[in-house]
Structure 1
């Protein structure tokens, strides 16, 4: 059974783990992990992108304004698909379209207005909001993650699983990682290849 609890986080960064909150993109998503705003909060908790105080504030917000929360979720999933289009193009060696780039820059500008740095004895801490609760708050760290990837310059590490369409950062030593997870998509591909070989050999016998 697919649940947020057993959703794999194999993207290698927050932005890709967020984009991968559908089970497959080939040919189209069969399962949506973010069906409710509570799912979005639960995913943020699983990813460790927001602290407990912010999570509690968001839950209270959603309980008090369910219709606004539902509209917020629709916008968040729209942002997710924009991010997928952006990084899928890069993974394919193409440049993202102007509409996608424009939407990304608009959302990034909004997120960066909410980001600030706090200095303390342990060093600097990047925070994503103030006392006021914002419905799109879970997107701020995701967009910051996407910005970090884009400005990191290692585009050759951005890859898309050929079987399910999940995105991931290839941190392997030889840079030849192909699958989001070798034990999942990789093994399924091998199983299919084995099946086809056996079927073909029986027909040719």
Structure 2
């Protein structure tokens, strides 16, 4: 059963579903040492909250997962590998560095495959690449993320992408001065200020 209370607003600080997806791993440091996509139902819960899937699509995929748990686990494992390859690429991108291999090939291949199976869909005055559950089955959330990535790579938001100074999370900085330093003030910003205060207090006491 889906329980969207697993995910809260502070989990979706990336400013884009692709970055929110990348931010499903990582803790209080630069290490990617916390895994939040612990099982396939949890992945579906995140996808609904992040507007990658509709609630009905998630329920349908949950039923498929219950009928073939091994296949769903394989899809989740592949999705996590893709996430970490993409994280390496976008960390390089925001630092104005060359994309590393073999992660570059892995991500480009995923984009090519997603586009091959997608169809054009009207989005008001423009068009977007789309896919349905019938086309993608258990891979639907990953394929949707890949199509959103393809659009992100062609958008102005790419140049606004930043990495939190304290952890591995990425976000789009749409502020006027583009001076945002933290994934959120409630998380890393607060911890950074506390650490700075502690260092000052310790120095003064010596």
**TM-based fold match above 0.5:** yes
Shift of 1:33: 1.1
Structure 1 residues 116-155: aligned runs within 5 Å: 116-119=119-122, 127-129=130-132, 131-132=134-135, 134-155=137-158
Structure 1 equivalent of residue 78 of structure 2: 75
Structure 1 residues 150-161: aligned runs within 5 Å: 150-161=153-164
Give the Cα separation in 1 of the matches to 2:115 and 2:60. 20
* Corresponding residue to 1:190 among 171, 178, 193: 193
Give the Cα separation in 2 of the matches to 1:61 and 1:174. 47
Give the Cα separation in 1 of the matches to 2:113 and 2:132. 11
Query: Any unmatched runs of 5+ in structure 2?
Result: none
Q: Are 1:92 and 2:95 matched, yes or no?
A: yes
**8 Å CA contact 2:23, 2:169 repeated in 1:** yes
Structure 2 equivalent of residue 164 of structure 1: 167
RMSD: 2.4
Shift of 1:162: 1.6
TM-score by length of 2: 0.87
Deviations 1:156-179, CA, capped at 9 Å, x for gaps: 311111211100111111111111
**8 Å CA contact 1:114, 1:129 repeated in 2:** no
Shift of 1:22: 1.7
Give the Cα separation in 1 of the matches to 2:128 and 2:159. 29
Q: Are 1:202 and 2:205 matched, yes or no?
A: yes
SS of equivalent residue, structure 1 residue 137: helix
Give the Cα separation in 2 of the matches to 1:113 and 1:48. 23
Give the Cα separation in 1 of the matches to 2:114 and 2:41. 21
Larger radius of gyration: 1
Give the Cα separation in 2 of the matches to 1:146 and 1:55. 20
4-13 vs 76-85, which moves further: 4-13
Aligned residue pair count: 202
TM-score by length of 1: 0.88
49-58 vs 194-203, which moves further: 49-58
SS of equivalent residue, structure 1 residue 159: strand
Give the Cα separation in 1 of the matches to 2:193 and 2:123. 51
Structure 1 equivalent of residue 15 of structure 2: 12
Shift of 1:24: 2.1
